[in-house]
Amino acid sequence: MKAKRYIYLLAVLMVFSASGCKKFLEKSPDLRTQLNSKEKVAQLLVSAYPKAEYLSFTENASDNAEDKGPRVDYLSVSSEQAWTKAYLWEDFENGGEVAGSTDTYWNETYLAIASANTALQYINAHPEQTDLLPYKGEALLARAYAHFMLVSLYANIYKPGQANSDPGVPFVTDPEVTVSPQYKRGTVAEVYTKIEKDLTEGLPLINNSVYKTAPKYHFSQNSANAFAARFYLFKGDLPKVIEYTNKVLLTPDQAKTMLRPWNSTYAAMIASALETQFTKSSENSNLLLGEANSGWGRHFYIRYGLGRIITNTVLFGPNVSGGNYAYKATPYVEPYWSSNKFDELFFESKIGSGFGQPYVMVPLLTADELIMNRAEAYASSGQSDLALQDINTFLSTRISNYSASAHGVTLAKIAAYYGITDPKAGLIKTILDLKRAEFITEGLRWFDILRHDLTVKHNKLDANGASTTVELKPGDPRRVFQLPIPAQKAGLALNPR
């Protein structure tokens, strides 16, 4: 079993446990922090990012997970229920205290929004303090990001060119969150309009110089532009995807220095070293990092998740380049496969007690996703040559012993590999497959499944090893995660089932 890294709880860490017991739209979190200085605003904004992760349920709901069959030696972790329900596309009845559950992510994300709103209330009340403007930018970006994640997970996905009149999520702008029947979900389109307003107002105010330490845990100019590119990809505004990406990755050579070095530096690392390096703030690819109370560092020790079939087909099977991926997924003991991306941090409540909570660091925005988002924007707007340029820049850091002549992707190569002659469709298929492999165990595959109406197939094994296949098709209401049941107390209608 892989070793856990222990970090002992200090008084400052009590905020983690305090926030974990709050339920948005069920209890009112006490965020009446006495703000009276720029320093306190900055401290408050540390909590404006969700202290929970979506990886557990988006990854296991996607086609990057499999059933490894009934066994008696699976590791028992508190998050196992969350991962199992996600794989089976089942709702939680009361998952607010379960790390890695859809309920916990909802609760913690609205707590983050409440922190951002508290900071904004103070900043807006002191317009003369111009040194607060960078923090206003961060608070607006954090609020926009949180609502974007919520509306993408708990409402029907935004469809460019359509009305998007389905119920969204409450867009909260008040710092005090109170139990009230007046909360309204609005529509997906209305939520997007409000997100865009925060994004476009906040981004010009971001100033990298205000955070001298731990800058990757706050919105910077790079991560803000990366978020903007993701938002506009979902919205279907392709020129803006390209515009915002170009502010971070302008040339192929510049982009290459910011992509994960899978076929060079990473290739020489043992699994434990890679697990540590992957989520370091010093890693150029990591643009925004978040911390989460989660057992996801042990994702390989449960029945449903990454296994031999997915690993051997998605990571180690053939791909359009004709080469081999340099990814480092490894088995501990069959059928336990790990992506070697997450190093568990274990916060002990008392030194030597063995009791505490597991945490992981989560890459929320990366240069790797950013370049592939631009590639999709180029492909979708008919700029095939530029899409291929981004794809090949990406592959040059992914394919072992990469050679442009041997492994470079062309439209002809795509057509021959996939049997797709339409350039746009072939490029999109290529990009989605490359992203599926790249972001295994990072949860991003789910969003591509939703945006492109892909069918998800899961295998189910019985005690005799016989396998059946179940499908989650476009239009199935289970593709939208359920709101926590206590949200009904605030007058919110749950998603249909």
**SS3 assignment, position 235:** helix
State pLDDT tens for residues 44-97.
Answer: 999 999 999 999 999 999 999 999 998 877 766 667 788 899 999 999 877 777
State pLDDT tens for residues 152-170.
Answer: 999 999 999 999 999 999 9
Sequential DSSP letters for 426-461: HHHHHHHHHHHHHTTTSSTHHHHHHHTTPPEEEEEE
Q: Where are the alpha helices (DSSP H) in 259-383?
A: 271-278, 308-310, 367-380
Predicted confidence (pLDDT) at residue 18 exceeds the cutoff of 90? no
Predicted confidence (pLDDT) at residue 138 exceeds the cutoff of 50? yes
Q: Which of 25-39, 46-60, 200-214, 339-353 has the lowest mean pLDDT?
A: 25-39
Split at pLDDT 50, 70, 90, the class of 406 is very high
Average pLDDT over residues 4-14: 29
State pLDDT tens for residues 237-285.
Answer: 999 999 999 999 999 999 999 999 999 999 999 999 999 999 999 999 9
**Beta-sheet pairing, 330-331 with 304-305:** unpaired
pLDDT given for residue 426 in this prediction: 98
Segment of 78-82, 337-341, 377-381 carrying the highest mean pLDDT: 377-381
Q: Locate tokens 């107002």: which residue?
A: 201
- Helix or strand holding residue 90 (H, E): none
| Burial of 118 per CB tally in 10 Å (0-12, 13-18, 19+) | buried
Split at pLDDT 50, 70, 90, the class of 192 is very high
**Beta-sheet pairing, 5-8 with 345-348:** parallel
Give φ, ψ of 431 to 5 degrees.
Answer: -65, -45
Predicted confidence (pLDDT) at residue 15 exceeds the cutoff of 80? no
Predicted confidence (pLDDT) at residue 188 exceeds the cutoff of 70? yes
Distance separating alpha carbons of residues 88 and 105, to the nearest angstrom: 18
pTM of the full predicted structure?
A: 0.92
**Higher-pLDDT residue of 182, 229:** 229
Per-residue buried b or exposed e for 138-165, using 16+ beta carbons within 10 Å of the residue's own CB = bbbbbbbbbbbbbbbbbbbbbbeeeebe
What six digits make up the tokens of 10? 């200090």
Split at pLDDT 50, 70, 90, the class of 333 is low
pLDDT given for residue 136 in this prediction: 98
ω into 70 cis (within 30 of 0)? no
Cβ atoms within 10 Å, residue 454: 18
Split at pLDDT 50, 70, 90, the class of 387 is very high
**Higher-pLDDT residue of 495, 358:** 495
| Burial of 12 per CB tally in 10 Å (0-12, 13-18, 19+) | exposed
Task: Of 394, 392, 390, 396, give the one whose Cα is nearest residue 375.
Answer: 390
pLDDT given for residue 61 in this prediction: 98
Distances (CA, A) of 148 to 154, 196, 228, 272, 395: 10, 9, 11, 33, 29
Q: Is 474 left (phi over 0), alpha (psi -120 to 50) or beta?
A: beta
Cα of first residue to Cα of last residue in the chain, in angstroms, is 39
Beta-ladder partners of 145: none
Mean pLDDT in the chain?
89
Distance separating alpha carbons of residues 445 and 436, to the nearest angstrom: 6
Whether the CA torsion 406, 407, 411, 413 is positive or negative: it is positive
pLDDT given for residue 92 in this prediction: 85
Split at pLDDT 50, 70, 90, the class of 490 is confident
Average pLDDT over residues 298-317: 89
Distances (CA, A) of 60 to 67, 441, 465: 10, 8, 20
User: For the chain, what's the residue count?
Assistant: 497
Predicted confidence (pLDDT) at residue 332 exceeds the cutoff of 70? no
Split at pLDDT 50, 70, 90, the class of 486 is confident
pLDDT given for residue 389 in this prediction: 98
pLDDT given for residue 456 in this prediction: 98
Distance separating alpha carbons of residues 183 and 379, to the nearest angstrom: 40
Residue type, 397: T
- Sorted by where each starts, the structural domains of the chain and their CATH numbers stand as 21-490 (1.25.40.390)
pLDDT given for residue 16 in this prediction: 29
Percentage of the chain with pLDDT > 70? 88
pLDDT given for residue 181 in this prediction: 43
Distance separating alpha carbons of residues 160 and 454, to the nearest angstrom: 16
State pLDDT tens for residues 98-130.
Answer: 888 999 999 999 999 999 999 999 999 999 999
pLDDT given for residue 4 in this prediction: 41
pLDDT given for residue 353 in this prediction: 55
